[in-house]
Structure 1
């Protein structure tokens, strides 16, 4: 009992982490695969196919684990100007998969589905799915499948210098990865920080706070990079029985942040926002936001471009205060909102202060006369307008079409209160894309 206690390294929260001396000789391939898979399984399909396999051989091996492919969100891959951020992806444009070639598209979907090894539990279908791909998916998901969401929407380089070619290690896609011999002496802290940050920035807030900092010191340092906090999705943290998976999270229940303590909730939001260092460009508000937290976010996120307001926030009393702060985001380009009874009050400051605004997405909103007039006031700004399952009269549709002459895309799917006749089609003739599927009077 009289011996001196060994000094242990601890962070601010009191958790133990290995000393630098102990970490010095650790190699990439020694990183626990279960821990790595737990991180990679939260990435999207594009990252798992194009970024992760190129880091090193161990990361490529981890990306093949079926756990990484339990959630197949093909909707994120679709390139569309009216999809909610961060779902805008140039993946298919870059790789020419969707250029009218159904065989190539079906082969790609089959390739991704096969990675799950019949273990996928979540599927988000995209607009490029064909009957053949749907049939294949239905066969491969016949055992373990509990959730589905229906969404709307090279040759190898050769040397001609006559020299003998050096043998290079390549995976099935023909991409080069380092040999095991070269990787042998690489250590964790030597992993390129920019590459690591590019991966971590696609994780959610919960993972960046509770999982990544405990891997090692270099990962903790990378998680502090402002690039990892450009997209602040608080909606994923909310524990709610009617939220879509994988958004059901016990995070707040575990840490007792939402037990009626607004001061603790505001402090947590402030802590997360400060991590972005005023560089956040995407914000998804949750139902637990208060007026105080809204005010702080409006001051500390001056570069905000995309704002998403879900229905549970609009149901509360705090939603009425949003119009006071939304004008602070002068760089705002896109607003997505659900079930709002005072849309005109929110759009008025946007037309005055947000000079870069160009896209509006509304879902399950009754568009009144004053709301339609507020949309028309955005005439010189708005280029993309999406109304999903909204109720509006024929007069308001005509008002919007006559007033918004700069529209390039107009989506009015499953809206009620009007029928699309020849007059409406004539007024919409200047719009490049006009989709009115499912509308009825």
Structure 2
């Protein structure tokens, strides 16, 4: 008993606890190092415990479309329907977006900046994403008013929307009032809205303010056609307004609202570990000169230069 009490049995932690711990590691460490430490850690990584929140936004910025798709398919399937948060940049096509909608009905946070999705696919699958409270479709050049209207109609719990663009991306657009009016007509419970650099009119923004009474923050920086009267804005108590232009220098700065997600216990489900895909995903990230090698209990361990606590 005394001897046992001297050691922490890291391999005996329940998968839920292991999942919470592993969420502090990088994606690469979780997928390539943890499964080789011991069987219980491997089971936690293969199951849904680590994948309620999937954030591969930084990783996906520099990956080809087919690699992003394969990684998403593997991780979303591992989540076994428990996925609450997904962040990925540059979603490559409608098929991948439809796959997410089919396998992530519990999703609360969906961030898809720079994604190549269409109005038509959003209209088809938005009903499957009805639990979303935070949506980011910034820099998505291939969607517009119809997609935002579909999200608004079906995602009735939506509280935060980010729809930002770069100025040069909207130079060819006469107007994006259809997007602003879709927001006004279908998203009455919004509390936080960012529409940076959209080509919208003052009247369209007025409609947002009039139809979204719970709005606490509105960011319209870069919307240079918008001229909001200070007396009109003061009618909306509790509203923080950012932009547009230098006329609003005295207004409050933008602040972030955190979106939390719960953590549920799920039974472990078997899933094939796609070694070939992982090797391809990391091939540009590690060189052999940077790799430290260790052996533990018969497992080959490439720890990438990190010292890991020894399992009992």
TM-score (norm 2): 0.65
Q: How far apart are 1:431 and its partner, in Å?
A: 4.1
Shift in CA distance, 349/417, structure 1 to aligned 2, threshold 3 Å: same
* Higher RCO by CA contacts (8 Å cutoff, separation 6 or greater): 2
d(CA) in 2 for partners of 1:190 and 1:378?
49
**What residue is the counterpart of 1:327 in the other structure?**
127
**What residue is the counterpart of 2:161 in the other structure?**
360
TM-score (norm 1): 0.48
Equivalent position SS for 2:225: coil
**What residue is the counterpart of 1:343 in the other structure?**
144
Are the aligned partners of 2:119 and 2:144 in contact in 1 as well (CA < 8 Å)? no
Structure 1's unaligned 5+ residue stretches are 1-179, 241-251, 253-257
**What residue is the counterpart of 2:211 in the other structure?**
403
Let me know the Cα RMSD of the aligned residues: 3.0
Q: Does 2:36 match 1:214? A: yes
Q: How far apart are 1:279 and its partner, in Å?
A: 0.8
Shift in CA distance, 378/288, structure 1 to aligned 2, threshold 3 Å: closer
Are the aligned partners of 1:201 and 1:227 in contact in 2 as well (CA < 8 Å)? no
d(CA) in 1 for partners of 2:29 and 2:93?
24
**What residue is the counterpart of 1:224 in the other structure?**
46
Q: How far apart are 1:207 and its partner, in Å?
A: 2.9
1:70-98 Cα distance to aligned partner (Å, 9 max, x none): xxxxxxxxxxxxxxxxxxxxxxxxxxxxx
d(CA) in 1 for partners of 2:184 and 2:138?
19
**What residue is the counterpart of 1:237 in the other structure?**
59
Structure 1 segment 100-139 matched on structure 2, within 5 A: none
Q: Does 2:272 match 1:272? A: no
Shift in CA distance, 269/234, structure 1 to aligned 2, threshold 3 Å: same
d(CA) in 2 for partners of 1:386 and 1:329?
21
d(CA) in 2 for partners of 1:431 and 1:298?
37
Candidates 381, 393, 399, aligned match of 2:189: 381
1:136-170 Cα distance to aligned partner (Å, 9 max, x none): xxxxxxxxxxxxxxxxxxxxxxxxxxxxxxxxxxx
Q: How far apart are 1:374 and its partner, in Å?
A: 0.1
Q: How far apart are 1:361 and its partner, in Å?
A: 1.4
Are the aligned partners of 1:398 and 1:424 in contact in 2 as well (CA < 8 Å)? no
Equivalent position SS for 1:232: strand
Candidates 187, 197, 205, aligned match of 2:19: 197
1:315-363 Cα distance to aligned partner (Å, 9 max, x none): x4x4455423233201111111212443312111123222212221121
Question: Which structure: larger Rg?
Answer: 1
Are the aligned partners of 1:299 and 1:328 in contact in 2 as well (CA < 8 Å)? yes
Structure 2's unaligned 5+ residue stretches are 248-312
